[in-house]
Amino acid sequence: MGVGDGEPIEMEIPEDHPRYLSLTSRERIADGVEAGLVDRTGLIAHGRGEAFDYLLGETTIPPAEMATKAAAAALVQADSSVISVNGNTAVLSGEEIASMSRIHDIPVEINIFHRTEGRVARLVDHMKGFGLDDVLGIDPDATIPNLAQPRAACCEVGIYNADVVLVPLEDGDRAQALKGMGKTVITIDLNPLSRTARTADITIVDNVVRAIPNIDEAMSEMSREEAQGILSAFDNGDNLKETMEFIARRMSAGDDR
């Protein structure tokens, strides 16, 4: 089959390819759309993320390391935390999130922007496939105030009651509504200018694929006392400013890796 005749082209990406992570992620998102796990708009969100990742040099930059520690600290100190997982996050980092959920006893709730009950059920099964016994999201029984349905639907024992929510790749409206409920909102978003990035209490400007294992590791090494110190020293506005300055310096240096 040739290019342009409508047949998908099977692509083997060699592991030593300099952009292996980026290319395999793109394949995973495309396969996720085919499998009904990712909405087609997830392709657009992914492309936007790729562009910002390129500006970072596809690496975890120092301000993201600081924000990752702050995120771990907030989770260590939480009374009741939750990881909100959407389609893109599930196909890119599902396995790592399942592992973090088990190790640190943090429930996972499927919560998607373009909600259909079929897609929620497929995502729950996808996450259970990584060894989680319970995944929240089916039969939501609570409503996030100041947000239109169906996006407001959530689970009382999960997102609704949590004091700390980790919401990677979240939409700005919902991030604002969660903050309006008085929660500590942690996001992972490659765009330091998005409303989500600006709204969250802690914004990790990094690829979710790199950020999740980093949070997991930071939590494992942190006591509650250490967490308190890290949280009081962290300012999200300052961190985002440092992120923008990092990108600007990199651009003006003409750094092409």
Residues 6+ apart with CB under 8 A from 241: none
Q: Cβ closer to ligand ATP: 56 or 135?
A: 56
Instruction: Give the shortest CB-166-to-ligand ATP separation in angstroms.
Output: 12
Q: How many Cα atoms within 13 Å fall on the side-chain side of residue 118?
A: 4
- Run of H or E residues at 153: strand 153-154
Comparing CA positions, the residue from 49, 131, 50, 51 lying closest to residue 94 is 131
Partner whose footprint covers residue 72, from Mg ion, ligand ATP, none (CB < 5 to 8 Å by kind): none
Backbone angles phi and psi of 253, in degrees to 5: -80, -10
Q: Between residue 187 and residue 206, which ones bind ligand ATP under the rule CB under 6 A?
A: 188-191, 194-196
CA–centroid distance for 19 within its chain = 21
Instruction: Give the shortest CB-62-to-ligand ATP separation in angstroms.
Output: 17
Segment contacting ligand ATP by CB under 6 A, of 41-49, 62-70, 136-144, 228-236:
41-49
Q: Which of 121, 171, 222, 247 binds Mg ion (CB under 5 A)?
A: 171
Backbone angles phi and psi of 15, in degrees to 5: -65, -20
Q: Cβ closer to ligand ATP: 186 or 190?
A: 190
Give the residues lining the site for ligand ATP (CB under 6 A). Answer: 45-46, 48-49, 52, 88, 92, 169, 171-172, 188-191, 194-196, 207-208
